[in-house]
Amino acid sequence: MTAPAGPRDGVEITVGYRGLGGMPDRLEARAVEPAEGDAPPWDANTPLRQVGGDHDRVDGLAKASGRAKYTSDVNLPGLLQAAILRAPIARGKLVQLELDAARAMPGIAAVVALKNVGSRVRFVGDAIAAVAGADLHRVRDALAAIRADYEVEPHNVDWLRGEDAPLLDADGEIAEPWPEAVALEGALALAATTHGATYRTEVQTHSSLEPHGATARWQGEDLEVWSSTQATFGVRGELAQALKGRGLRVGAVTVHAEYVGGGFGSKFGAGVEGLACCLLAHAAKAPVKLMLDRFEEHTTAGNRPAALLQLRGGLDAEGRLIAWDVRSYGGCGFNVERGDGGGNVAVPDYYTRAAKTRRKHTDLPADTDPARAMRAPGHPQGWFGAELFLDELAHKAGIDPLELRLRNDSQTMRQDQWRFGAERFGWAAARARPNAPDARFRRGVGLASARWSQLGSAGRPPHGVQCRIHRDGSVEVRSGAQDIGTGLKTVLALIAAEELGIDPKLVQAFTGHTGDPSGPGSGGSTTTPSLSPAVRHAAFLARQQLAGFVATHLGADAAEIDCRDGTVGTRTQRLAWAEACKLIGPNPIDVRGQRFPNYGGKPFSASVCGCQFAEVEVDTWTGQVRVLRMLAVQDCGLVIAKKLAESQVLGAMLQGISFALHEQRIMDRQSGRMLNGDFLRYKILGSADVPELDCVLMTVHNGHSSTPAAGLGEPPAVAAPAAVATAVFHALGEPVRHLPITPDKVLAALARRA
Amino acid sequence: MTVPPDPRAGVSRRSFLKGSAVAGLASTGLTAAATAADGPTTFGPGAHDIVLTVNGAERKVAVETRTTLLDALRDGLDLTGAKRICDRGACGGCTVLLDGQPVNSCLVLAIDAIGRPVQTVESLAQGDLPHPLLEAFVHCDALQCGYCTPGMVMSSLACLQQRGRPTREQMQHDLAGNLCRCGTYGRVFAAIERTAQAGGK
């Protein structure tokens, strides 16, 4: 940790990674050009004491003890409760809306229309009006008293029944010819082994446990909002825009999201619920809380869209992919043009470098709640189809699935991960172990790759972090971005502590308040890589100021002062941290660090790599699938908070199992309504379903920035469903190509095999 | 919060109370309900103050007959550790101990908790030192977004109190009613194990 880099000074750093478990190191020197004034880069040779250690989550006790106040927990004097009237029809027009009866009811403080008469209704659950009152009982009574009439039109809630949907045969295979493609068909004709099949996944709801919603309070012209969101600044701008007719400007809006009960991609906006809450609080002249109930969560607050993929491809005699043809469809809900995550389906591109390829995707609308981004949008669906397809192709060619990956995967880092993971998992032995032909329980093992291609906001816009050092020795770091459970507060605290050479317990981290420097929305696994260099820069600037005080005190040159092990000083004269901080005046050292653009040039890696292995046991009598154990090998850039990073990977594996085996939205074609919009009939994975999980993090110095962290929201979520599905294929000897792999589908597969 | 009387309540509430198993109500913490001449205490219409025994203290709170224990705790007493996630007894986020047993407080009427000890997650951090189970949750990182965590903690506490050193299967059974979307289950088991090994309950 030396003086800041000068303008366009080239700095040589060591990038890459150390080999896991006896694998070779992949380290190399790179010249990078840090921006003027930025903190010098931490690279593979920098000794770090706090970062990467086994620290506790800094807000763990606040959360576990119930002390943490989420949006839903905010109680204000005179607080009113509120709820939304939802359309009972899937398609049509609102032709009458009578609110006066509701307004006149006892205990009701405000009623607002959310749709004008004449507006279109686009799905069951479309917001019509909202009511605020003394308590939710009275509010619900008032909702029932609102008269809303509709002009009903025929609807279609089944995305595969629309006019553009492909025709499926009785086995669920797309029964339409592929459009002509001369080069690709030439490659297929040359292939030693070819295969083609259709794969399908169902709608998964985000099911964040804290519902969407807000608490809002107006004070004169100012609006203060607590929002359960993964984008504090996004919500602020959205509300200011929506309410500008009331003279509201962005600067008068404060958004809090100090604690957020999950988001997973569904909470980027204030939503109609947030806006309704503000309108009601304005009309009632009192603070209002409006949180969705669980049915609204399942039916109006976003989902991972259903997907359909058809693949065909071929291997040459050496097991190399030489042809790869993919067409996919995604159910995006009613908003086919706008797309909010859309029906996008992504497939891996690193197996097919030697292949003739073609890729086509079509979004298919239906009269349902629009899709939203959900943890690695499009990826778990597409990877499930692609990886299971590869296993079927390997099976036909008589090649081990791992061997097929090793022959085709063009990413060196994942090649290392495959080899390390296979060894640790005991792949070869588990794969070779036969199931007795008449055994009730059959076991199988599978694997799948992962890739995520975003590594932070890259410094545009230049998000910031505030750092203050107080004369009592305490340190404060602040970001207006939100910690939705991913551990941002802990990440900020550990990096500041590392830079300042102090115990992380001296650092308090604050997140989720728009009064603090702007940060990104928590999407695309970008929060940690965006803000790690920013907090590092803030602490770096603060340290320089402290060094100035200490240099004056010691009569030394400020350039000779460093901070380490809780002391500050020169090589020969050192002050304890607390003593050094006493030199600070009544005003704290108060600086703002920024996220500079990524280093130019070619980084060591531009994406995040991983792979996962799974072992399952299938009960051939009941069709029940149980995952017994899983392993994730995961690149995550510079590991900041080890325990928290592991938690995120482990959780993504469980969400993936849940998607692979349990979750599906079931719509009633007649009424257009979701039939299982609760937690009794929409099953998410529970404690009884948890297998043995193993997770190996791989620190990779990607050479992007001074503090080269990667995010872990999406990367570990990509592979898990595919790993489970390929293991089920191994256990049964027959693929189940339609998630979730429920008992009926397993029994049908067994019947096909017999 | 003052609420106007509910015009539809009254007769049915009285007959409900007469016919229900709320024995001993008259001797409990009802402070504002009228006492009918013909026998049991009537309750309603509208809100009344009752006294709940929460974390060892007597707490006065205004409820209606239809108010759940969860809403009384959260909205009436500002004890917001217990969360309202599904409001149907399907997720365990509102778990508290009633008479020492874990219950979904969204499925218990506040008036049914009169005279019975209620223990919420807040009780575990009241003293100088947090309860060892909380420390184990933090140490094992048995939480991410933290929204299910207070419910998980209370179910874990009941599991420890009832079983001492639970097996993995017993933990999976006892926590089967608690959902977590972040996927913290494995680390919750580790936290219970750690607490049991240290002898903390």
Measured between alpha carbons, how far is A376 from A717 in angstroms, rounded to an integer? 7
Domain of A136: which CATH number?
A: 3.90.1170.50
User: How is residue A741 annotated by DSSP?
Assistant: -
Q: Residue B17 has what pLDDT?
A: 40
Q: Which residues contact A590 (CB under 8 A, 6 or more apart)?
A: A466, A467, A468
> Quick one: CA torsion of A642, A645, A647, A649, rounded to 10 degrees?
-130
Residues of chain A with Cβ-Cβ distance to B95 below 8 Å are none
Query: Is A683 part of any domain?
Result: yes
- Shortest CA gap A608–chain B (Å): 21
Residues 6+ apart with CB under 8 A from A434: none
Angle A630-A634-A639 (CA atoms, 0-180°, nearest 5)? 130
Tokens of A601: 């040039």
Type and span of the H or E element at A626 = strand A625-635
CA–CA dist A247, A266 (Å, integer): 29
Give contacts of B 110-129 with A, CB under 8 A: 120-122, 124-125
Instruction: Return d(Cα B112, Cα B65) in angstroms, integer.
Output: 9
pLDDT-based confidence at residue A337 (cuts at 50, 70, 90): low
- Taking CB atoms and an 8 Å limit, are A65 and B125 in contact across chains? yes
Q: Collect all residues of chain A within an 8 Å Cβ-Cβ radius of residue B150.
A: 64-66
Give the Cα separation of A34 and B135 in Å (integer). Answer: 41
pLDDT for position A738: 98
Confidence band of A475 (pLDDT split at 50, 70, 90):
very high
Mean pLDDT of chain A: 95
What is the longest distance spanned by two Cα atoms in chain A?
87
Q: Which 54-73 residues of chain B touch chain A by CB within 8 A?
A: 64, 66, 71
Instruction: Mark yes or no for CB contact B87/A293 under 8 Å.
Output: yes
Neighbour-count burial for A385-404, b at 16+ CB within 10 Å, e otherwise: bbbbbbbbbbbebebbbbeb
Please, are residues A747 and A623 in contact by the beta-carbon 8 Å criterion? yes
Q: Quick one: pLDDT at residue B29? A: 47
Indicate whether A396 belongs to any domain: no
CA-based radius of gyration for chain B: 19
Provide the number of structural domains found in chain A.
3
Q: Does any domain span residue A375?
A: no
Report the 10 Å Cβ neighbour count for B128: 5
Cross-chain residue pair A654–B124, CB shorter than 8 Å = no
Residue A293 lies in a domain: no
- Residue A298 — left, alpha, or beta (φ > 0 → left; ψ -120 to 50 → alpha)? alpha
Residues A573 and A631 occupy one common structural domain:
no
pLDDT at B20 over 80: no
Question: Is residue A19 included in any domain, yes or no?
Answer: yes
**How far A5 CA lies from chain B's nearest CA (Å)?**
37
Task: Please provide the distance, in angstroms rounded to a whole number, between the alpha carbons at the two ends of chain B.
Answer: 37
- The terminus-to-terminus CA distance of chain A in angstroms comes to 67
Residues of B in contact with A654 (CB under 8 A): 183, 185-186
pLDDT at A6 over 50: no
A341: in domain: no
Residue of A201 and B200 predicted with greater confidence: A201
- Report the CATH number that the domain containing residue A550 is assigned in CATH: 3.30.365.10
Please report the pLDDT score of residue A455 as a whole number: 75
- Residue B40's pLDDT is 67
Nearest to B93 among A209, A291, A487 (CB): A209
DSSP string, A393-447: HHHHHT--HHHHHHHH---HHHHHHHHHHHHHHTHHHHHHPPPPTT-SEEEEEEE
Longest CA pairwise span in chain B (Å): 58
Count of other CB atoms within 10 angstroms of residue A186: 12
Residues A614 and A744 reside in one and the same domain: yes
Q: Mean pLDDT over residues A74-96, rounded?
A: 98
Minimal Cα distance from A482: which residue of B?
B145
Give the DSSP H or E segment for A542.
helix A527-554
Residues A444 and A544 in one domain: no
Contact list, B122 vs chain A (CB under 8 Å) = 65-67
The one-letter amino acid at A550: V
Claim to verify: residue A625 and residue A679 sit in the same structural domain: yes
Report the alpha-carbon distance of residue A34 to residue A36 in Å, rounded: 6
Considering the domain architecture, whether residues A729 and A616 belong to the same structural domain is answered as: yes
Cα–Cα distance, A703 to A15 (Å, whole number): 6
Instruction: Tell me the C-alpha distance between B104 and B96, whole Å.
Output: 7
CB within 8 Å: A56 and B141: yes
**What pLDDT, on a 0 to 100 scale, did the predictor assign at position A453?**
85
Closest residue of A to B94, CA-based? A66
Which pLDDT band holds residue A9 (cuts at 50, 70, 90)?
low
Expressed as residue numbers, the domain containing A615 is: 9-34+411-455+601-754
* Residues of chain B with C-beta less than 8 angstroms from the C-beta of A71: none
- Are B184 and A647 an interchain contact pair (Cβ–Cβ within 8 Å)? yes
In a domain, A204, yes or no: no
How much is the average pLDDT of B23-36? Answer: 44
Residues of A in contact with B7 (CB under 8 A): 106
Chain centre distance of CA A660? 17
A219, A249, A220, A221: which is closest to A236 by C-alpha? A249
The conformation of residue B56, written as its DSSP 8-state character, comes to T
pLDDT greater than 50 at residue B141 = yes
Mean of pLDDT values over A667-682: 97
**Which residues in chain B are closer than 8 Å to A680, comparing Cβ atoms?**
88, 90
Three-state SS across A630-679?
Answer: EEEEEECECCCCHHHHHHHHHHHHHHHHHHHHCCCCCECCCCCCECCCCC
Rounded to 10 deg, the angle between the B132-139 and B149-163 helix axes is 120
B66 has pLDDT over 50: yes
DSSP code per residue over B90-146 = SS-TTEEEETTEEEEGGGSBGGGGTTSEEE-GGGGGSSSS--HHHHHHHHTT--SS-
Which of A412, A334, A398 minimizes the C-alpha distance to A162? A334
- Tokens matching residue A112: 């607002």
Q: Return the percentage of chain A with pLDDT > 70, whole number.
A: 97
Q: What pLDDT is recorded for position A343? A: 83
Q: Which residues in chain B are contacts of A208 at CB distance < 8 A?
A: 145, 147, 181
Q: Tokens 């940690």: give the residue.
A: A528
Do A436 and A576 belong to one domain? no
Residues A633, A639, A642, A648: what is their CA dihedral angle, to the nearest 10 degrees? -60
Measured CA to CA, the distance from residue A506 to residue A60 in angstroms comes to 16
Same-domain status, A612 and A731: yes
Q: Do residues A610 and A515 share a domain?
A: no
Residue A717 per-residue DSSP state: H
Q: Do A575 and A634 belong together in one domain?
A: no
Distance from CA of B187 to the nearest CA of A (A): 8
Contact A120, A154 (CB under 8 A): no
Q: B1–A654: do the CB atoms touch at under 8 Å?
A: no
- Report residue A322 as tokens: 């030489």
Q: Which among A103, A84, A104, A90 is positioned nearest to A154, based on CA atoms?
A: A90
Picking from B64, B78, B186, the nearest residue to A650 by CB comes out as: B186
A258 Cα to chain B: minimum distance (Å)? 11
Give chain A positions within 8 Å (CB) of B79: 66
Q: Which residue has the tokens 């080890």?
A: A642
Contacts of A61 in chain B (CB under 8 A): 125, 130, 134-135, 138
Same domain, A532 and A676: no
* pLDDT score recorded for residue B42: 73
Buried b (16+ CB within 10 A) or exposed e, A31-42: ebebbeebbbbb
The verdict on a CB contact (< 8 Å) between A63 and B130 is no
Quick check: B130 and A65 CB within 8 A? Answer: yes
More confident site: B178 or B5: B178
Token couple for A343: 């029906």
Written as one string, the DSSP assignment of A89-151 is SSSEEEEEEE-HHHHTSTTEEEEEESS-TT-EE-STT-EEEEEEESSHHHHHHHHHH-EEEEE
pLDDT digits (tens, 9 = 90+) for B38-56: 566 777 778 899 999 999 9
Residue A444 lies in a domain: yes
Which of A572, A594, A616 terminates a domain? The answer is: A594
Per-residue pLDDT reduced to its tens digit, A419-473: 999 999 999 999 999 999 899 999 999 999 999 987 766 667 789 999 999 999 9
Residue ranges of B 78-117 with Cβ closer than 8 A to chain A: 78-88, 90-91, 93
Domain end residue (candidates: A565, A594, A623): A594
Who among B146, B179, B186 is closest to A63 (CB)? B146
Q: Which of A54, A65, A511 to mutate against chain B (most B CBs within 10 Å)?
A: A65
Is residue A471 located within the same domain as residue A513?
A: yes
Q: Which of A549, A565, A594 is the last residue of a domain?
A: A594
The answer to whether the CB of A523 falls within 8 A of the CB of A264 is no
Half-sphere exposure for B8 (CA within 13 Å, toward CB) = 6
Taking the C-alpha atoms of residue A467 and residue A483, their distance in angstroms, rounded to an integer, is: 17
Distance CA A136, CA B122 (A): 25
Q: Which two tokens stand for residue A497?
A: 């502590």
Q: Which of A78, A107, A653 sits opposite B4 (nearest CB)?
A: A107
Domains and CATH numbers, chain B: 11-81+108-115 (no CATH), 127-197 (1.10.150.120)
Q: Region A310-321: what's the mean pLDDT?
A: 98
pLDDT of residue A603: 85
Same domain, A615 and A730: yes
For B88, the closest of A653, A680, A684 (CB atoms) is A680
- SS3 at position A29: strand
The closest CB to that of A693, out of B135, B149, B186, belongs to B186
**3-state secondary structure at position A511:** strand
> How far is the C-alpha of A534 from the C-alpha of A707, rounded, in Å?
9
Q: Tell me which chain B residue has its CA closest to the CA of residue A682.
A: B90
Nearest of A201, A303, A194, A206 to residue A724 by alpha carbon: A201
Q: Give B-chain residues touching A485 at CB under 8 angstroms.
A: 143-146, 182
Nearest CA in chain B to A63: B146
Nearest C-alpha in A relative to B186: A690
- A230 with A521: CB under 8 angstroms? yes
Predicted confidence band of residue B9 (pLDDT cuts 50, 70, 90): very low
Residues with Cβ < 8 Å from A672, sequence gap 6 or more? A89, A90, A91, A123, A124, A155, A157, A367, A368
In this structure, are strands A108-113 and A26-32 parallel, antiparallel, or unpaired? unpaired
For A122-168, the pLDDT digits (tens) are 999 999 999 999 999 999 999 999 999 999 999 999 999 988 899 99
pTM, rounded to two decimals: 0.94
